[in-house]
Amino acid sequence: MNRRPLSARAVQAASAVNVPPPLTRFLFRLPQFPPSLALATALNLALGESGMSAIPPELTGRQVRLVVTDLGMELALLLTAKGFVPPHLPSANPEVTIRAGKADFLAMAARTEDSDTLFFSRRLVMEGDTALGLLVRNLLDSVDLSALGAREFSPWRVAGMVGGLLRGRKGERWVVW
């Protein structure tokens, strides 16, 4: 039996879901911190210790914004020597903004679509420091989601990662809108 990888099936299913415009407008008004924290946690778990140690020093302290255009979501990430974290205060002008639709981001994550193809077909747009954008894109391309199993995303491991990210912010001012 010839089966496609689960990630390709998940991409196809998620891409087929249309989000109504009123829900998109609602998502745009929600705080950035919770989905940014979720994305940072998933990326850190997927990269693992070896991937996070491969973060080039020139990326640390740099802020990136990912915009999922058809969902109306903006996710802010700060790159540190320990991995991705949601920033204390999202920058009004991040150093690089990467825009794409949910299907395109999912296809890149599942490696069913090449980021260069998306870029040259104008389905993926980078604004700002494009050299930084290419470094971030290469870092994200190094994440192999198909190699990950349920064990890597177990509730205990996710809770530990989120706890670590939040402990690092202890005593700091939190802004979630």
Higher pLDDT, 94 or 16: 94
Instruction: Give 83's strand partners.
Output: 80
User: Taking the domains of the chain in order of start, what are their residue ranges?
Assistant: 6-167
Residues 103, 69: Cα–Cα separation, whole Å: 10
Please name the fold of domain 6-167. Nonspecific Lipid-transfer Protein; Chain A (3.30.1050)
Q: Which of 3-7, 30-34, 121-125, 126-130 has the lowest mean pLDDT?
A: 3-7
At 126-176, the pLDDT tens digits run 999 988 888 887 777 776 666 555 555 566 666 776 777 666 555 544 444
Higher pLDDT, 93 or 160: 93
At 164-175, the pLDDT tens digits run 766 655 554 444
